[in-house]
Amino acid sequence: MSEKILVIGANGQIGTELVTALRGINGAENVIACDINDPAYAIRNSGPFELANVLDKDNLHHIFEKHRPTQVYLLAAILSALGEQKPKMAWDLNMTGLLNVMDFAVEFKVSKVFWPSSIAVFGPHSPQHNTPQYCVMDPNTVYGFSKLAGERWCEYYFNKYGVDVRSLRYPGLIGWRANPGGGTTDYAVHIFHEAIKKGQYQSFLSAQTALPMMYMDDAIRATIELMAAPAEKIKIRSSYNLAGISFTPEMLANEITKHLPGFKMSYAESDPRQAIADSWPKSIDDSDAQRDWGWKMEYDLAGMTEDMLVNLKKLYS
Ligand code: SER
């Protein structure tokens, strides 16, 4: 039987790339991109699209009824920095959106659900280096505790209703095809665009702020591998740690300078996103993902930087 896949939040940084990858695997007509806004040209023209607001239960029910999905990817969310400006809205979207989709997953007997969590589930009292899968978690952003509560709900729907839900705690994601919006790790994407366009960039995080990051190609592959793994291999139904590359703004600037020797980096004197970054892990232990479903990352800092620059140069030329 062929899959019918709904990707909700298809216009975002992850959705843009995931829809393309899933259409390549499953056939464009079997992947329905859904978003609250009209899509970018590429998504609109490469397969089916539905306007969908995860908080509008009637509209969402209609979409499930019409397409009878076998898989759902719920990517619609408000990220960490924007969430601090709109805390109630972030909670509502991130939480009620998840519960609406989970209820329909039960009602329509969806075979598999993917929902992204984040390194933001950790907080100032979590171990900062090689942060383990299980430890103290005291996130202090609305985004962080909405993701932590969401993880609990995912596990609950698995245990109580048998929903085959799978999740990853994504690090900061870096890709050239789509821009991030409203996150604390966004600097690591903006820097590449500005380096090529202007030869300089002012980082809103300080030079020594290490954070876990990952190249988008690895993140998409992790998502697809997790979803393809046999159900019995998925031992964690809340969300898996996913490590990626750990680096500081200064390390990234130095790597970019190897390709663009005149590149100049400066640092903002203060920015509210610094406190968020300081509350997050510097590096992650993802040995459970490696053991359970064979996860292995491919892109290191050098490989990611080179690939970003090659592709963005083509885009801007
Ligand atoms: N990239 C996200 C953010 O910065 C973390 O999951 O909010």
d(CA 297, CA 215): 9
Residues 47 and 108 in one domain: yes
**Could you tell me the distance, in angstroms and rounded to a whole number, from the CA of residue 171 to the centre of ligand 1?**
7
Percent of the chain beyond pLDDT 90? 96
Mind giving me the DSSP string for the chain?
Answer: ----EEEETTTSHHHHHHHHHHHHHH-GGGEEEEESSPPPHHHHHHS-EEE--TT-HHHHHHHHHHH--SEEEE-----HHHHHHSHHHHHIIIIIHHHHHHHHHHHTT-SEEE--EEGGG--TTS-SSSB-SSS-----SHHHHHHHHHHHHHHHHHHHH---EE-EEE-EEE-SSS---S-SSTHHHHHHHHHHHHSEEEESS-TT--EEEEEHHHHHHHHHHHHHS-GGG---SS-EE---EEE-HHHHHHHHHHHSTT-EEEE-S--HHHHHHHTS-SSB--HHHHHHH-------HHHHHHHHHHHHHHHH-
263 and 284 part of one domain: yes
pLDDT of residue 107: 98
Residue 297 lies in a domain: yes
Q: Is residue 283 in some structural domain?
A: yes
128 part of a folded domain: no
236 and 252 share one domain: no
Q: Which of 143, 157, 170, 299 is catalytic?
A: 143
Shared domain check, 179 and 97: no
Ligand 1 pocket list (CB less than 6 A): 79-80, 118-120, 143, 170, 172, 183-185
What distance in Å separates the CA atoms of residue 271 and residue 286, rounded to the nearest whole number?
A: 30
Residue 105 belongs to some domain of the structure: yes
Q: What is the CATH number of the domain that holds 177?
A: 3.90.25.10
CATH number for the domain including 231?
A: 3.40.50.720
Nearest 5°: phi and psi at 6? -100, 130
C-alpha 78 – ligand 1 centre gap (Å): 9
Q: Does residue 133 fall inside a structural domain? A: no
Q: Which of 85, 146, 147, 184 to mutate to test the pocket of ligand 1 (most atoms within 8 A of CB)?
A: 184
Q: In angstroms, rounded to a whole number, what is the distance separating the alpha carbons of residues 228 and 64?
A: 22
170 in active site: no
Q: How many Cβ atoms from other residues are within 10 Å of residue 312's Cβ?
A: 18
* Closest C-alpha to ligand 1, atom 3: 183
At 45 the pLDDT is: 76
Position 301 in a domain: yes
Taking CA atoms only, the protein residue closest to ligand 1 atom 2 is 183
* 242 Cα–ligand 1 center, Å: 13
Q: Report residues of the chain scoring pLDDT below 50.
A: none
Nearest atom within ligand 1 for CA of residue 143: 7
- Are residues 297 and 199 part of one domain? yes
The answer to whether residue 152 is domain-embedded is yes
Same domain, 259 and 295: yes
Domain count, the chain: 2
Looking at the structure, tell me whether residues 48 and 188 fall in a common domain. Answer: no
Q: Among the atoms of ligand 1, which is closest to the Cα of residue 280?
A: 5
Domain-located, residue 264: yes
Closest atom of ligand 1 to 119 CA is: 6
Range of the domain at 77: 5-121+139-171+217-241
Same domain, 297 and 233: no
264 shares a domain with 231: no
Asked whether residue 24 falls in the same domain as residue 46, the answer is yes
Looking at the structure, do residues 60 and 162 belong to the same domain, yes or no?
Answer: yes
Q: For ligand 1, pick from 143, 148, 203, 211 the residue to mutate: most ligand atoms within 8 Å of CB.
A: 143
Q: Note the pTM of the prediction, 2 decimals.
A: 0.97
CA of 198 to the centre of ligand 1 (A): 25
Atom of ligand 1 nearest to the CA of 173: 1
| Shared-domain flag, residues 38 and 185 | no
